[in-house]
Amino acid sequence: MRANLHRRRCFRVEDGELVTEYGVLALQGDWAAHGTILRELGAHTCPVRTAADLARVDALVIPGGESSAMLRLMEPENLSRRIRDRIVAGMAVLATCAGVILLAENIQPPQPGLAVLDVEVVRNAYGRQLHSTVAEIVLTKELGKPRCMEGVFIRAPRIVRVSSNVTVLGRWRDDPVLIRQGQILGATFHPELSADRRIHEMFMKAGEAGHG
């Protein structure tokens, strides 16, 4: 019932039809690229910087960046708690790179987070920005064909544990790099830097399903 209340409040009516509004957390990182991709796919988007912005959207992208800096930037509007509450209520989320760190239940080395994604991550596990790489990710059947995808890893976190309620959708070198838990999608790489749009399409379907 709580998710239904969120849906009635947040969905926008345009020409007599409900329109899903997709937000992109626009505090740091390559947030604009996510918005561009979503608009190319036909979505209505808006940047999210304040509590009022968050209240207007039905689904949210949490982009890469620097996780501890993002937490500091969220403090004035208490956005971390507000985002957590929306996710718990069912809002669809796409978290990429540092976004996965922010959502993780366990973070190493320890730092605060939203603790809504039942995984353990190690920050900067593949090296610093100098060691960033482009790699081929092996996908599950759920993402269709081709069964691989280009992944751009920039100071990427490593997922070292996933709970039984987390589905692994993609791996690189046997590490989970693309995961789903309910309405939450997490990618330790940067899908906005690839020509493959399947992750954003999956996120849009979750938003259209009425989560949040």
Rounded to 5 degrees, φ, ψ at 30 are: -90, 55
The Cα-based distances of 123 to 95, 107, 136, 161, 210 in angstroms read 15, 7, 21, 13, 32
pLDDT 10s digits, 2-11: 333 344 344 5
Tell me how far the alpha carbon of residue 163 is from its chain's centroid: 18
- Largest separation between any pair of C-alpha atoms in the chain: 51
For the cut 80, the answer to whether the pLDDT of residue 49 exceeds it is yes
Of 18-22, 31-35, 75-79, 176-180, the one with minimum mean pLDDT is 18-22
What gap in Å lies between CA 51 and CA 128, rounded to an integer?
Answer: 32
Q: Which long-range contacts (CB under 8 A, 24 or more apart) does 68-75 make?
A: 68/111, 69/28, 70/25, 70/27, 70/28, 70/29, 70/98, 70/102, 71/102, 71/111, 71/112, 71/113, 73/27, 73/28, 74/27
CA distance 98 to 25: 12
124: its two tokens: 């900067």
Q: In 10 A of CB 127, how many CB atoms?
A: 12
Just list the catalytic residues.
Answer: 97, 190, 192
Distances (CA, A) of 209 to 123, 170, 203: 32, 23, 10
Tokens standing for residue 24: 């992109």
- The torsion angle over the Cα atoms of residues 198, 127, 160 and 167, rounded to 10 degrees, is 0
Mean pLDDT of the chain: 89
In the chain, the domains with their CATH numbers are 2-208 (3.40.50.880)
Residue 143: other Cβ atoms inside 10 A: 19
- Predicted confidence (pLDDT) per residue in 154-212, tens digit: 989 999 999 999 999 999 999 999 999 999 999 999 999 999 999 999 999 999 986 44
pTM: 0.90
The answer on pLDDT for 149 being more than 60 is yes
